[in-house]
């Protein structure tokens, strides 16, 4: 009996210590950032394309409204990256980005898992808030779900998502591996994703992000072709890591796991050489 009690106490203490060593502040920042990004981005979708709202009359050109939507959607993510919470977590707000950093050896497994869980929860919270605020207008655009465009074969939609996610991740890696360019990462991602929404939304809805697709699908209760958005973006991210390694040939590596690196914010990332006075103390 005493041995059992001692064993239980030891295991409880072990799990308590592990629980405490997890980086809850960063996970919370990712959750908040994803929630805000999804709500603001999908609100732009609703406002620009929702039935019964004035944008269709004010700007009849569908392509222009799509570009505006892309600029607002991606802009909210880039603004979060330069916010205090974004500077803390790195503002991945996308499981594909987190997967890429983890596969490339820049994140601890428990942190990658924490980020991804936070991102999926944030997407669900953001989509739920969208429905509560916009009501029937959100419903008129399927609550911002990503769906294959009419007239496009699923294989083509799949390849489009792989390619666009590849371009996003490889661009992030190229910028955060260069000391002169790394501070401009939020800007390039803003412009790049806006262009992808403008050009790619009619084809695939421009997901690039499994959490972004699953959140609205979960709230809507519609799962048609959602498997595509669970597989294609991660595949594009893995392809980007492989190509980056091939291009760098060991001579160039990631300097930070954050989209906007600020030296006086702690970093929980590993094997990075960004100038951060907290770096060593937070890398087991």
Length of the chain as a residue count: 284
In a domain, 12, yes or no: no
List C-alpha distances in Å: 255 to 17, 46, 196, 248, 272. Answer: 30, 38, 26, 13, 5
In a domain, 88, yes or no: yes
In a domain, 245, yes or no: yes
In a domain, 121, yes or no: yes
Domain limits for position 57:
25-278
List C-alpha distances in Å: 25 to 28, 43, 83, 245. Answer: 5, 27, 14, 31
In a domain, 13, yes or no: no
8 A C-beta contact, residue 212 and residue 120: no
- What's the mean pLDDT in 173-198? 95
d(CA 17, CA 12): 9
User: 236 pLDDT exceeds 50?
Assistant: yes
* All residues at 6 or more sequence positions from 49 whose CB lies less than 8 Å from its CB, including other chains: 55, 56, 65, 69, 141
d(CA 249, CA 20): 38
List C-alpha distances in Å: 73 to 20, 77, 195, 219. Answer: 35, 7, 11, 19
Q: For 61-101, write each residue's pLDDT tens digit.
A: 999 999 999 999 999 999 999 999 999 999 999 999 999 99
pLDDT of the residue at 64:
95
CATH code: domain of residue 169: 1.20.1080.10
pLDDT of the residue at 185:
97
Taking alpha carbons only, the member of 148, 158, 114 closest to residue 26 is: 114
In a domain, 246, yes or no: yes
In a domain, 215, yes or no: yes
Taking alpha carbons only, the member of 192, 205, 94 closest to residue 146 is: 205
pLDDT of the residue at 1:
55
Taking alpha carbons only, the member of 34, 99, 41, 106 closest to residue 234 is: 99
pLDDT of the residue at 277:
45
User: 284 pLDDT exceeds 80?
Assistant: no
Q: What is the pTM (predicted TM-score) of this model?
A: 0.89
Query: Number of folded domains in the chain?
Result: 1
Pull the structure tokens for residue 278.
């907290």
In a domain, 15, yes or no: no
User: 275 pLDDT exceeds 60?
Assistant: no
């Amino acid at each position: 009996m005493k041995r059992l009690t001692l064993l239980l106490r030891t295991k409880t203490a072990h799990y308590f210590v592990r629980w405490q060593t997890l980086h809850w502040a960063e996970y919370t920042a990712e959750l908040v950032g994803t929630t805000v990004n999804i709500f603001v981005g999908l609100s732009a979708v609703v406002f620009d394309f929702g039935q019964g709202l004035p944008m269709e009359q004010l700007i009849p050109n569908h392509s222009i409204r799509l570009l505006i939507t892309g600029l607002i959607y991606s802009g909210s993510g880039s603004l979060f990256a330069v916010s205090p919470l974004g500077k803390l977590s790195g503002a991945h707000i996308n499981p594909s980005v987190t997967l890429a950093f983890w596969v490339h050896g820049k994140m601890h497994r428990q942190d990658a898992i924490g980020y991804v869980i936070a991102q999926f929860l944030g997407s669900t919270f953001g989509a739920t808030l969208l429905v509560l605020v916009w009501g029937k207008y959100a419903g008129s655009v399927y609550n911002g779900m990503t769906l294959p465009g009419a007239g496009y074969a699923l294989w083509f939609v799949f390849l489009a998502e792989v390619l666009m996610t590849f371009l996003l991740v490889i661009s992030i890696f190229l910028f955060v591996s260069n000391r002169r360019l790394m501070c401009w990462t939020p800007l390039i991602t803003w412009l790049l994703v806006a262009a992808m929404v403008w050009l790619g939304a009619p084809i695939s809805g421009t997901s690039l992000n499994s959490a972004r697709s699953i959140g609205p699908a979960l709230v809507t209760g519609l799962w048609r072709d959602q498997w595509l958005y669970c597989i294609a973006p991660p595949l594009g991210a893995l392809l980007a890591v492989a190509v980056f390694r091939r291009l760098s040939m060991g001579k160039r590596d990631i300097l930070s796991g954050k989209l906007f690196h600020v030296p006086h914010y702690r970093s929980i990332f590993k094997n990075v050489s960004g100038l951060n006075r907290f770096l060593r103390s937070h890398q087991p």
